[in-house]
Structure 1
Amino acid sequence: MRYFPRLFATLLLTCLSTFACAEKLLIVTEPWAPYVYLEDGQAKGIDYEVTVEVFKRLGVEVDWQFLPWKRCLAMIDQGLADGILDIFQTEERDRYLYYPDEPLSEVAFVLFYANARPHPVERLEDLAGLTIGTSPGYTYSTAFNESSRFKREPAPTHEANFGKLQRGRIDLLITDRRVGRFLASELGLAQDVSELPLVVNSQHQYLAIRRNAGKDSLAQRFAEELRRFKREPAYAALNARYASMGDKFPTTVEQQESGTP
């Protein structure tokens, strides 16, 4: 009988170790500054840092991989990753991803142009005959994605899109407002490019968990802890630190494109 406590302790530690292993995640994402990015090999960004803090509070260990977006989606589809950061929710993706009911952030897709080659655009119909730089695997809006009035030309990176815009190889590029402003500033193009007031679409970004990964309840636990964190001064301070990064553009009046989801 004197061996029973030792046996019980061993079994308890084994169970705890198994649980800990089950709570280790591989999360993939694409650099998408200022939401998530790498600087001198160190991961940063408002959504990245919020996610790290929430998982820390939940006691979940995370391994990160930064990859092109299409590769991120492929790894989720093939069951090679447990979660994906800063993804939009769509009906198709609901089939293989669990989404927390609390988003990390909201993006606003706008169009950027080179100041030397302005294109006045007030609605999508005004893009007729133009070539718009896009990013592979990104979902903008049904109206934008399916329009036959203009050409969509993908580039391997967001930086490449700005290079093509500067050289006149595309007429406009579409990206999130904060991402575009941040990159233009980082690339030294803040005085050479501008954004149009038209908002093609606005969407929430999430940390989504792959279905059938044995972590079905994690998305809801993440949402609950994220809501708690958002009410704390630490979240406000973190958000304020990133709020104005790359924001050297004049404030414009937003115009939401009608008929987009």
Structure 2
Amino acid sequence: MIVTAMKLFTALLLLISFFSYAEEDKLLKITTGEYPPWSSADFKHGGFVHHVISEAFKHEGFKVEYTYYPWARNYKQGQKGDFHATAFWYHSEEREKLFYYSNPLYAEDVVFFHLKTTKFKEWDTLENLGQYRIGITRGYTYTPEIWEAQKKGNLNIVVSNSDKINFKMLLRKRTDLFIMATVAGYSLLQKELSMTHMQTLTYNPKPLFSSEGHLLFPKVRPDAQDLLKVFNKGLKALKNNGFYEKYYDLLLEGYYELP
């Protein structure tokens, strides 16, 4: 009887251990950064992008936990493989060597913001912009053409540590142009600047490039491709059942920003 009881007890422990491991294995850890209104620890659901990521994985039976870092560190953390994925990034050849890209989370135009008093109406190539001081944000993704033009001395690039600093640089006339995505740019302006300051700024309607944000899965992890397939399946389901469009409407209405 004692032997039988011990066997039953051992089997029960193994069963509990199995389910505990399975439940733990369903928790995904993702490294990310602040980029309102798409992502922010201070927003509902962490912002639109994190809401979409969480719901896509939830549809497939997974939970998500986010850890926020400055963008440059976010990228380094993502490479190590300690996290299941890193959110969220534009495409680049460098990253493609290290990560598997999810299907797009969203699309947005990246433009040149400037003061309304700055004479900047038309441009064809980056070579036309040599006379301007152009602000960019450390750790962000920009086109290879921008870096090549800077390397050749055709562009005057000014690197700052945040988008907020870059907008202040514009207002103080320490830069002439600032490269920023439209939705994220105006969201930040509404949050951080006065209406008077906002009314002094505009952007050139011609996009520098159109961006798509992706969830990246580090190739050093053996489960990366499996999780990529899981996420893409969940994302497709969100779009098919109309929830993705609903979340995007909430984004435009300002729903994610806490009062």
Normalising by the smaller structure, the TM-score range is 0.7 to 0.9
The 1-side partners of 2:47 and 2:200 are apart by: 25
* Deviation of the 1:75 alpha carbon: 1.1
Instruction: Report the counterpart of residue 212 of structure 1 in structure 2.
Output: 220
The 2-side partners of 1:133 and 1:200 are apart by: 14
**Within-5 A mapping of 1:124-143:** 124-143=126-145
* Deviation of the 1:150 alpha carbon: 1.4
Determine whether 1:25 maps to 2:28: yes
Determine whether 1:228 maps to 2:234: no
| Partner of residue 209 from structure 2, selected from 197, 201, 211 | 201
Question: What one-letter code is carried by the residue in structure 2 that aligns with 1:25?
Answer: L
* Deviation of the 1:72 alpha carbon: 0.4
- Note if contact 2:57-2:63 (Cα within 8 Å) is conserved in structure 1: yes
Q: With structure 2 as the length reference, what TM-score do the two structures score?
A: 0.85
The 1-side partners of 2:8 and 2:56 are apart by: 36
Question: What one-letter code is carried by the residue in structure 2 that aligns with 1:88?
Answer: Y
The 1-side partners of 2:24 and 2:100 are apart by: 20
3-state DSSP class of the match of 2:88? Answer: strand
Runs of 5+ unmatched residues, structure 1: 247-261
| Partner of residue 41 from structure 2, selected from 24, 38, 54 | 38
* Deviation of the 1:245 alpha carbon: 4.5
- Note if contact 1:109-1:140 (Cα within 8 Å) is conserved in structure 2: no
Q: With structure 1 as the length reference, what TM-score do the two structures score?
A: 0.84
Deviations 1:117-160 (A, max 9, x none): 33234222321121111011222212222113111111111111
Instruction: Report the counterpart of residue 111 of structure 1 in structure 2.
Output: 112
3-state DSSP class of the match of 1:110? Answer: strand
* Deviation of the 1:212 alpha carbon: 2.6
Question: What one-letter code is carried by the residue in structure 2 that aligns with 1:63?
Answer: E
* Deviation of the 1:202 alpha carbon: 1.3
**Within-5 A mapping of 1:161-172:** 161-172=166-177
- Note if contact 1:110-1:199 (Cα within 8 Å) is conserved in structure 2: yes
The 1-side partners of 2:248 and 2:88 are apart by: 16
Deviations 1:71-99 (A, max 9, x none): 10111233343311121232321222122
Question: Residues 18, 95 of structure 1: CA spacing in aligned structure 2 closer, same or farther, 3 A cutoff?
Answer: farther
Deviations 1:31-53 (A, max 9, x none): 1111112337x653211111111
Question: What one-letter code is carried by the residue in structure 2 that aligns with 1:213?
Answer: R
Identity among equivalent pairs (%): 23
The 1-side partners of 2:241 and 2:8 are apart by: 43
The 2-side partners of 1:195 and 1:210 are apart by: 35
Runs of 5+ unmatched residues, structure 2: none
**Within-5 A mapping of 1:1-261:** 2-3=4-5, 7-39=10-42, 44-100=46-102, 102-123=103-124, 124-147=126-149, 148-186=153-191, 187-188=193-194, 189-216=197-224, 217-243=226-252, 245=254
3-state DSSP class of the match of 1:18? Answer: helix
- Note if contact 2:113-2:202 (Cα within 8 Å) is conserved in structure 1: yes
The 1-side partners of 2:81 and 2:221 are apart by: 8
Runs of 4+ with deviation above 6 angstroms: none
Q: Which structure shows the higher helix fraction?
A: 2
Q: How many residues align?
A: 244
* Deviation of the 1:70 alpha carbon: 0.3
Further displaced range: 165-174 or 194-203: 194-203
